Amino acid sequence: MEKRPNDTIEMLRAEFANVRKTAIVGHLHPDGDCISSCLALYHYLKDNYGYEADVYLEPYPSVFDMLPDTAVIRHTVKPEVYDVVYSLDCADLDRIGAGKELFDSAKKRVMIDHHISNPVFGDVNYVKGEIGSACEVLYTLFEEDKINYNVAMCLYTGMVHDTGVFQYSNVTPDTLTRAAKLIAFGIPFTDLIQKTFYEKSFNETRASAYAISKAAQLLDGFFVWSYMETKEMERFHITSAELDSVVSELRNIRGVDTAVFLYEIESGVWKCSFRSNHVVNVSELAVSFGGGGHVRASGCTFYHKKPDEIITEIVNRIPKEDYAGRAL
């Protein structure tokens, strides 16, 4: 079944300008692009059209509180029917976190995303799988003369996070041009990168080092993986949200193409993060396990399996031609 085509930019801009009872939701375990895109849309609507949308997100790392007006974000959802609910950065309907029931019951559902695996699930839809972040998709939808300091700060932060500070293959000349225009607003771009992307707490650093020390290589070094149980996270006094960098560190090992990091979110339930450098399409890999994402970054969830059983299943689904005889 073919996906429904995108609605037009003009249609999205008409939705923004239509003042109604509005909510904004993001995905489970919100990351930098998710948080930033939700706040960017909040500020764009408030500062240009005079209405404040209600923003619903699950709890997120406190480093993002340097973004403007994070205090408006709600973690608790009360049953309400909204005229319109925007879903941002959600690869599919089941990935919506806090506020999913609000999206389901909304009079109109608007979905804006950048995941290539997105099946399209809104009444109004705009998915650009070739663009590196939800924030950059919003940039293309926003009228440039309506972008201000607060919007620029949010958009830039999201672009930083989903491009790995502009180093991933999803970066294009347009990405860098747009980032430059956002910097021109005078935003504290060096602090945004350092404090939200690179800085880690002492416990987070220790936990990451521990997870990396447990790593194992397979397929002659083509594949690397590690894992962390809930009891280990408790030992380091951290949450799973503070382990986001581990899978990227594993991918940085010389000779590795594909990295996998598993972390237990409750007994027998494992979140799986995939990353690849050049060869394996980890979006297809994640989709085969009921997840989704991007060609070089994706994820899924496994239930009632042990880590070594999960890894065996994953490795068995990597085509042999992807790794046989390759010198990386």
Tokens read off for 205: 């650093």
- Using alpha carbons only, what angle is made at residue 107 by residues 104 and 109, rounded to the nearest 5 degrees? 60
- pLDDT value at position 239? 87
Quick one: average pLDDT of 67-82? 95
- Structural contact between residues 114 and 292, judged by C-beta atoms closer than 8 angstroms: no
Q: Where are the domains of the chain?
A: 9-198, 202-323
Whether residue 98 contacts residue 57, with contact meaning beta carbons closer than 8 Å, is answered with yes
Which of 91, 86, 81, 101 has the alpha carbon at shortest distance from 15?
86
The confidence score (pLDDT) of residue 117 equals 86
| Percent of the chain with pLDDT strictly greater than 70 | 98
Residue 326 pLDDT > 70: no
The whole-number pLDDT of residue 137 equals 98
| pLDDT of 108 above 90 | yes
Domain 202-323, CATH 3.10.310.30 — does that match? yes
Mean pLDDT value of segment 53-61: 95
pLDDT band at 31 (very low <50, low <70, confident <90, very high): very high
Within 8 A by CB and 6+ apart from 282, the residues are: 258, 274, 275, 276, 293, 294, 295, 296, 297, 298
Give the tokens for residue 64. Answer: 């993002």
Going by C-beta distance under 8 Å and a sequence separation of 6 or more, which residues neighbour residue 279? 222, 257, 258, 322, 323, 326
Where does residue 179 rank: exposed (0-12), middle (13-18), buried (19+ CB within 10 A)?
Answer: buried
* Region 155-162 average pLDDT: 97
DSSP 156: H
Can you give the pLDDT at residue 199?
A: 92
**260 contacts 272 by C-beta, under 8 angstroms:** yes
Residue spans of alpha helices (H) in the chain:
9-17, 32-49, 100-105, 134-141, 149-162, 173-183, 189-193, 202-213, 230-236, 246-251, 282-288, 307-316, 320-323
| CA distance linking residue 246 with residue 261, whole number of Å | 7
Give the CATH number of domain 9-198.
3.90.1640.10
- The pLDDT assigned to 244 comes to 86
- Please provide the average confidence, as pLDDT, over all residues in the chain: 94
75-93: pLDDT as tens digits: 999 889 999 999 999 989 9
**Quick one: what percent of the chain has pLDDT higher than 90?**
82
The sign one gets for the Cα dihedral 219, 322, 162, 25 is negative
Start-to-end Cα distance in the chain: 37
CB atoms within 10 A of CB 203: 14
On the question of pLDDT at 36 being above 80, the answer is yes
Tokens 């839809």 label which residue?
A: 125
> Which pLDDT tens digit goes with each residue over 263-281?
999 899 999 999 999 899 9
pLDDT of residue 315: 96
Instruction: Give the three-state DSSP class for 126.
Output: strand
* pLDDT attached to residue 241: 81
Of the candidates 57, 91, 93, which has an alpha carbon nearest to the alpha carbon of residue 286? 91
328 — pLDDT class (breaks 50, 70, 90):
very low
The pTM of the full predicted model, rounded to 2 decimals, is 0.89
Using DSSP, state whether 303 is helix, strand or coil: strand
Mean local confidence (pLDDT), 208-230: 96
Q: What is the pLDDT of residue 4?
A: 76
Q: In this predicted model, what pLDDT tens digit does every residue of 246-265 receive, in sequence order?
A: 999 999 999 999 999 999 99
pLDDT value of residue 321 = 86
Query: Each residue of 278-317: pLDDT tens digit?
Result: 899 999 999 999 988 888 888 999 999 999 999 999 999 9
CA 45 to chain centre: 22
The residue among 214, 212, 211, 218 whose CA lies nearest residue 312 is 218
